[in-house]
């Protein structure tokens, strides 16, 4: 028994030593609640960005097969809106959020439900680094990951579904375009879009894209 104990202790210490730097690194990459609140506050004017249009725009550029090193940001406006980049970890090639990232999502939920931001609508932007996979596959993966974050906020942390939308932009909105393979390009983006639009005669709210979608359908006719 003593022999077994002597084997277990070094193994346990070795395992903790291996895991500790990872945990510390993740902790350093999580913005504080105050940082998130500051970055997401101060919207000067509502954005007219529409989620369906963003998805179509990204899909169109993927089809164009433009070179990763030469393409500009797909939606420069996103960087001009109040936003914060967050490092949400997923299983490889999967939209499944790793357990250690739920503390980050919990912090995001806390910030989105503060009185200062309760009247705002947000967009979760999924991104993927240029990892050698097909760009259309990365675009789809980023969409599924953005939806996973939104689902966690809505289902687990009870953020109103009318206040959070999701879009994946794959490799088309790189954080560091000069280094498309850099890990920083995996970071998700939380963007403040606009204020909630109240429904006349009631206390509920309507989805922020509803009026824009109707206009788009009429224009298409």
pLDDT of amino acid 8: 41
For 192-214, write each residue's pLDDT tens digit.
Answer: 999 987 655 555 444 444 444 34
Closest CA relative to residue 131, chosen from 86, 190, 74, 90: 90
pLDDT the model gives residue 200: 57
Q: Quick: pLDDT tens for 105-136.
A: 999 999 999 999 999 999 999 999 988 889 99
CA atoms of 176 and 182, how far apart (whole Å): 7
Phi, psi angles (nearest 5°) of residue 194: -170, 175
Residue 108 Cα to chain centre, angstroms: 10
**Is 147's pLDDT higher than 80?**
yes
Residue 130: per-residue pLDDT: 87
Query: Residues 196, 119: contact at Cβ < 8 Å?
Result: yes
Report the C-alpha gap between 55 and 184 in whole angstroms: 22
Task: Let me know: does 130 contact 185? Beta carbons within 8 Å.
Answer: yes
The string of pLDDT tens digits covering residues 162-198 is: 999 999 999 999 898 888 889 999 999 999 999 987 6
Q: What is the pLDDT of residue 179?
A: 87
Q: Which residue has the higher pLDDT, 130 or 218?
A: 130
pLDDT for the residue 48: 94
More confident call, 89 vs 205: 89
Pairing label, strands 197-198, 164-168? unpaired
Confirm if 48 and 211 have CB atoms less than 8 A apart: no
pLDDT tens figures, 6-51: 334 333 334 333 333 333 334 446 899 999 999 999 999 999 999 9
Residue 180 confidence (pLDDT): 87
Q: Which residue has the higher pLDDT, 156 or 207?
A: 156
What homologous superfamily is domain 27-220 in, according to CATH? Answer: OmpA-like domain (3.30.1330.60)
- Beta carbons of 147 and 95 less than 8 angstroms apart: yes
Give the long-range contacts of residues 110-119, CB within 8 A, separation 24 or more. 110/33, 111/33, 111/36, 111/37, 111/40, 112/40, 112/153, 112/159, 112/163, 112/164, 113/159, 114/37, 116/37, 116/41, 117/37, 117/40, 117/41, 117/192, 119/195, 119/196
User: How much is the pLDDT for 131?
Assistant: 86
């Amino acid at each position: 028994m003593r022999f077994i104990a002597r084997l277990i202790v070094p193994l346990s210490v070795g395992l903790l030593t291996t895991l500790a730097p990872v945990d510390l690194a993740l902790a350093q990459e999580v913005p504080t609640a105050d940082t998130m609140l500051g970055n997401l506050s101060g919207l000067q004017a509502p954005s007219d960005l529409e989620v369906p249009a963003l998805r179509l725009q990204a899909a169109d550029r993927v089809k164009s097969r433009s070179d990763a090193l030469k393409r500009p940001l797909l939606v420069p406006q996103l960087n001009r809106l109040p936003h914060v980049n967050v490092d949400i970890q997923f299983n490889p090639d999967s939209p499944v959020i790793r357990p250690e990232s739920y503390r980050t999502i919990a912090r995001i939920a806390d910030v989105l439900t503060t009185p200062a931001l309760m009247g705002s609508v947000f967009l979760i932007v999924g991104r993927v680094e240029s990892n050698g996979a097909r760009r259309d596959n990365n675009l789809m993966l980023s969409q599924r990951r953005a939806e996973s974050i939104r689902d966690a906020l809505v289902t687990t942390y009870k953020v109103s579904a009318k206040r959070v939308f999701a879009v994946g932009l794959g490799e088309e909105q790189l954080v560091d375009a000069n280094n498309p393979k850099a890990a920083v390009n995996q970071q998700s983006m939380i963007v403040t879009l606009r204020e909630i639009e109240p429904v006349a005669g009631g206390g509920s709210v309507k989805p922020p894209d509803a009026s824009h979608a109707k206009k788009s359908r009429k224009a298409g006719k």
